[in-house]
Each structure stands twice: as structure tokens, then as C-alpha cells.
Structure 1
């Protein structure tokens, strides 16, 4: 059967950006009519990580294309994560345009819609030039998107903060962020103090997102009703379509992805909700002194298991897991909510401080480590708070209620299911 609809997907190949975008595309591909092709543009390294060696039946209508990552030809990149981001941004959008031309020749059909990571703001110009919809995917939470959307208002408010103590004031002028402090905000908002390539990219994104056909998130409206209502007024379509982990259109995880033995080890645990699961994502390694403090806080445990990789969603689903110690990246927060597991947060950069503030003070589904860093005393106190006593019980009840709302959102008549249907309509419009 020939290709009747060709959709281009532009990924940002760093951190946990590309994998959630691919998860969304897999859902769309499964729900799209025959003859729909999704061309997935991403760096070679990232593609090799998120695509299996052999394409499964579910991925027949998704074709991966490698784009130039900015590393000079013949050189092996040995810089930092953020230097790699800078090189990639410098190579864009030309690297994507070249790959798009190849994909259009392969498919024998021009691209009729661009779904992209929201960071890739220049896609609005690519889409406009082609006369096709631009659908940016914001890979983080609606709370951090709202903070970025109010950049101008935040900068004006900061001008009035004379003392450092004033920076602990909250963002009462932003709907849904009344518990968030100025000190929680992503540094990229303050471009004058932080003119990195990523900060410039995010600020360009803020300026261009209103030009989008729809802004899509892997979240659900009910987690932040005030923010949802406000952002719906700012964009043509604001579509929460998650959590994808709970969606019936998401394939079940493969039973053989327990190569490090995490799940089999959990099966040997006899007490429900007794295990502390610790993970800081794919980018972050805490400083050695904090790792030592964390180990000291946990030394009263008889034994544990340390692995290089874990099937996180399945670990969190296990009945023996009682708390998740995390950097508070959005994917981790959402997976924990989807499984009803409370959080202990030690944020590091980006949106993580905002997320952790929402976790503790707005959603009340976890706690932040006192002082913002691991030491033995603060870590023990956080563990005791969540794992024992009335405070921990209340936190557990709150996260279970939020889990139920998340499940309802992806139900047949749920808000996320309706938004996903709307997204399918948008990307299926022919030129």
C-alpha cells in the first residue's frame, strides 16, 4: 500500500527528550489509518538508543533518519552534555532540512505536518514555508511551561526584588504557580544572566509557541486545572494527552527487559512498600559527597541492589516499592504518579526545582530534601517522613488520588483521550 500521509517528527536528542516524543509517535502511528508514514529525525546516537535493532510490526510506519549532530567531521566528541547541545543547536535547522529532503524522496510524498520537540522553535518557520501544521511537543510539565510562558512578567517582577530574601517570594501572579518561589525557576528564564545556547533556544521557543497549531504534553489536565485553563487561553490548542504509560494505545513493556535482575530481586522482598528506589535519570550523577551521605542514610538496610539501568516504570509498579528518590525530571514524576509511589526530591537543573516544589507544596505527593542537597540528617528525615507516620500516610493517599485521576484521563471518555483524538484530527489534515 502506498503512502498517503507523510508526517515529519523532529527530535531534540538530549536527556529524556527523544524517547517520550517517540512514545507519542508510536501511539499516533498505531491509531492512524493505513498509508500513514512518520519520518523521525534525530541524531544517530539518540536513534541508536531509542530504536530497537530490528523494527517491530508496530513500527512499520515509523522510519528513523539520522541528522547531523554538529560534531566536526572526522572528530570524536569529548565535550560536556551542554557543549553537545550547543553544537547541535548551531547545526540546526540546516541539518533537519537536509534530512527532510531525503525522507520526502524516500516516501515519494511531501511532509504534510511537523511534530517537533518544542525546543525546536525554528520548525514554525519550516512549517509555515510548507503551509502545514506545526505541533510542538513539550516534554516537561505544564507548570514549567507556564513559568516560561510568563517570562516577561517574571522579569518585570524580579526587577522589584531588592534583597536576596525577596527571591523567596512566590509567583502569586501566575495561575497555578502560587506556591512556586522565584528561586525555583529554571535559569533559562533569566537570559541576561544565563546566555547559553539552550537559554537562547528556550526564549525563542517562548516567542514562537503561540504560532503553533497545537501544543502537546504528556500529562493530564486534572493535575493542574488552573494552569490548564490559563494555557488553553494562550494557544490555539493545548492538548494534554497522557500519561502515555497508562494509555491503552501504548504497547505493554516487554517481559524480558529485566537484564539487570531488578524485578527478580524485588520479588524476593517480603514486606509491601518497604523498598527505596533511587534513580537520577540519564544525565545526572550527584556529587560524591552527596552519594556518600545518601549511602550513610540507607546503611541501616540489610542489603540492596545497585544496577547500571533499571526498567523504571515496572520497578515503580512493584508492590514492594514504597518511595522514589529522584532528581524530579518530569518523566520520572509522571511515572511515579502513574504507579502511585510517593517521591523524595533532590532537583538539580532546568525544570526540576519547579517540579519538586509542586510535588511538595501543591500536589503534596512527596517532599524535598531539606536544604536542597543530600546529607545524612536531611535524607534520614525525608525517608522517615514518607515511609512512616501520619505525614507519610497523607502523602501516599494524595499520590493514589492523583493516580486515579491520571487513569481516568486516559479512559474512554477521559480528557486525555479526547485531546488525543483532536491531535489525530490535526495531524491528518491534508494540504
Structure 2
């Protein structure tokens, strides 16, 4: 357990329980930073289930945030095994973490915020007699798909055709069964993880508030519908605009290399921290990049590089790096297309940078995010069949960089970005929702 100096004194004390997988923790930490800056008399104990927490060391952290690393069985890269291990210990880990935070700070808990995937948040809030506020890390479309799990199962069963649509759910008529996250009608519905998702979908309405990293204008019909399902639904983002990430070192020289490229010609490729495409798809992507002769930056961990064709890494046309400062790269004028897994945070970053997307979804909310990109907002394309092939990648690259599709996507991106900037502005919907969230968690 990482110890922090005691703050003592009176005032609100908010505990934040985070989910240690995927991209869940960074946006929740960004919200916490914003809340802490706006409520200096409140204390925020950020409980992170990991061996180390780079979130607190990579950016300016208000002094009223205390970060606790509360679990030494942190993710080891074993996928579902790590998640199942966490689910077995999360209640004990977070209960102990809250006890330590209360004892060290000398402040009684006044509110508990938890990631929606941390199912024990409701129980711990009830035990402490405080309000339970929960954060859903993806967007309104993904939230709706979980909330309507039982209705979808009743409507289609678990053997629905992949192209059946959710036209009986407000705002979801463009979403197909194949776009849904696992655990709704696909996957092992009896697994611990899928049962957790189902139970989550039935309990969220009990939270004092649910907040998401999006703005109401991105999904107006879905948002209005979700507001009727919860006590409060607060869209407080996109955080990439209101609480931008801290500048990080460009340790592999991506930006100077981009400075030498022509405007809107570079393909940036990254699949997040949890995904590496299978070897045959890595080869297909590499061959497509070689054949197209496009300049590129590919953020790829070393265990993925070993599958690339001989000599590709030393290609004069691009860079293969183990890590890239993604927001800085995307916002560089030389980048013309983003090849991505379709994670929600990456999708918001592509909107902020006005860069069209080519999406190869893998799991979770990737499929529904890709559907939003392609069929709803029209800011990019999903690879054919959801799998990389050389010819399809080359076709997608041509669409984004040379055809009318790309020009249309960039025009739509600009309009969506302006809408999002208005939402986080002083009189915008997200700014008002953030104030409501602040009032909720800082009341004492």
C-alpha cells in the first residue's frame, strides 16, 4: 500500500475506485483532476489497483488528490485471467483501501465514485452510508447496449443474425447485433466477466449519478433515452478538450520525423495498450503499407515486431516504435489517417485532431465505436469483415487520403469537433453537467 501524508481537517472526502484494465483509469483520473482543482477544500483518494501508477507521476496533480496503489496482483498481460483474478479480490482490496485512506487522512468518507466495471462500488458506498456515483468509461451507445441487455435478449434471443438491427431502441437503429460488446448476446454469457456486465446493467439505475466521457450532442437521442433510465446521467466530456492530457516526452523522435513529411500524408497506426493483431494481420498491414509507399508511424510493442516481414522495420517510408505520444502525433499536420482498434478514448482523440479513422475492432466497445465512426458520424471506415487484408487496407487508405470519402470525413470531423468544443465551453452542456457532478461529489 502506497502511503501518503495525512491531510487531516474537515471537508468532503471522496474515494475513487478504478478499474485497472484497458483505458478505464486515465479518463477517470482526468475527471478527478478537474474536480480536485474546482473543489480545493475536498480531498480525493484515488484507489488504483496496480503495482505502480504512472497517472500520478506523468502530469501535474492537485495537492488534494492522494493516490493509493491498492493491489499487488496487478495485470500481467494474461487477458481474462487477470480480470478474473481482480474480480476475486476487488471487494477486499477496495474495502481495505478505503479504510486506509480514511485513517491516514483523518477524514470520514463523504462520497464514493467507482468505475461501472467495479461492481463492489455500490456495496462499499452503502456500508459507509455515502452516495454512490459511477463512471462509465465508454460512450452513450455502448452504455445503451448494456442497459438494454435483457430487452435485446428477449427480442432476439442469443442466436440472432449478425445483421439484425436494434431499431426498437431509441437512437440505435444503425447498430447491428455484430456491433454489440461481448456479454450481451455473444461470448460466454455464463463467464464471470459476462455475468458482471449483466449485473452492472441492472444496477446502474441505483447510482446517485452516472457520468460519461462524452457530450450530449454526440448521441442526442440515445442520451435523452438514457436520462430516463438513471437518476442522473451526466455527460462531462470529451475530456480531451476540457481536461487535455499532459505533454509526454517524444522519446523516439516521432515529431521531428513528422516535421519532414508533407501535410496529411502520414498513416499513424496504434491499437492501444491491450491489443496486438494476430501475426497474419500484422503481415497484411505491413505489406499494404509497403505497397502503398505511404509514410507511416506504427506504435507496436516488441513482441509484435517479430512477426513483421524481414526488413520492414528498417523501411525508409516509416517508423516502427514501441510507443508514441499519441495526441501529439495525431494533432500534427502531417498525419492524414489513423488506423486504430476503435477504443473510445482513441475515437475522441481522432475527433480532436480531425483525422479520419480506419478501424479494426477487437473486443469490448470497439465494434459499436467502429459502427459510430462508419455509419453514424461518417468520419472513417471499418475494415471489411473486421479483419486486416492487404487489399482492403490499401483500399481504405486510398479512401481516406485520396478519394472524396476522406474529404467528407474530414468535413464531418471538423463539425463534430466544433460541437464538442461548444459543449465543454463555459455555457455548454458538458460544462453544466460537470458543475452538477462537482456539486454532487463535493457536498458534505
Task: Quote the Cα distance in structure 1 between the aligned partners of 2:346 and 2:405.
Answer: 22
- Within the alignment, does 1:237 sit opposite 2:232 as a pair? yes
- Within the alignment, does 1:20 sit opposite 2:27 as a pair? yes
Task: Quote the Cα distance in structure 2 between the aligned partners of 1:60 and 1:78.
Answer: 30
Alignment partner for residue 178 of structure 2, among 178, 183, 186?
A: 183
Conservation of the 8 A alpha-carbon contact between 1:67 and 1:96: yes
Deviation at 1:195, TM superposition (A): 2.3
- Within the alignment, does 1:253 sit opposite 2:246 as a pair? yes
Query: Residue 294 of structure 1 corresponds to which residue in structure 2?
Result: 285
Task: Quote the Cα distance in structure 1 between the aligned partners of 2:158 and 2:91.
Answer: 38
Query: Residue 119 of structure 1 corresponds to which residue in structure 2?
Result: 117
Alignment partner for residue 86 of structure 1, among 73, 84, 87?
A: 84
Deviation at 1:155, TM superposition (A): 0.3
Q: Relative to 1, partners in 2 of residues 1:274 and 1:151: Cα closer, same or farther, differing over 3 Å?
A: same
Task: Quote the Cα distance in structure 2 between the aligned partners of 1:267 and 1:386.
Answer: 21
Query: Residue 436 of structure 2 corresponds to which residue in structure 1?
Result: 422
Conservation of the 8 A alpha-carbon contact between 1:142 and 1:227: yes
TM-score when scaled to structure 2? Answer: 0.89
- Within the alignment, does 1:262 sit opposite 2:254 as a pair? yes
Conservation of the 8 A alpha-carbon contact between 1:69 and 1:87: no
- Within the alignment, does 1:41 sit opposite 2:34 as a pair? no
Deviation at 1:365, TM superposition (A): 0.7
Q: Which ranges in structure 2 are unaligned for 5 or more consecutive residues?
A: 1-6, 295-315
- Within the alignment, does 1:362 sit opposite 2:376 as a pair? yes
Q: Which ranges in structure 1 are unaligned for 5 or more consecutive residues?
A: 72-76
Alignment partner for residue 65 of structure 2, among 62, 69, 94?
A: 62
Deviation at 1:49, TM superposition (A): 2.9
Alignment partner for residue 393 of structure 2, among 379, 402, 409?
A: 379
Task: Quote the Cα distance in structure 2 between the aligned partners of 1:386 and 1:63.
Answer: 44
Specify the SS of the correspondent of 1:176: coil
Task: Quote the Cα distance in structure 1 between the aligned partners of 2:368 and 2:77.
Answer: 28
Task: Quote the Cα distance in structure 2 between the aligned partners of 1:246 and 1:282.
Answer: 22
Deviation at 1:168, TM superposition (A): 0.9
Specify the SS of the correspondent of 1:189: coil
Alignment partner for residue 150 of structure 2, among 152, 163, 166?
A: 152
Deviation at 1:68, TM superposition (A): 2.6
TM-score when scaled to structure 1? Answer: 0.92
Deviation at 1:167, TM superposition (A): 2.9
Q: Relative to 1, partners in 2 of residues 1:93 and 1:324: Cα closer, same or farther, differing over 3 Å?
A: same
Task: Quote the Cα distance in structure 1 between the aligned partners of 2:35 and 2:361.
Answer: 32
Deviation at 1:268, TM superposition (A): 1.5
Deviation at 1:126, TM superposition (A): 1.7
- The aligned length equals 414
Specify the SS of the correspondent of 2:320: coil
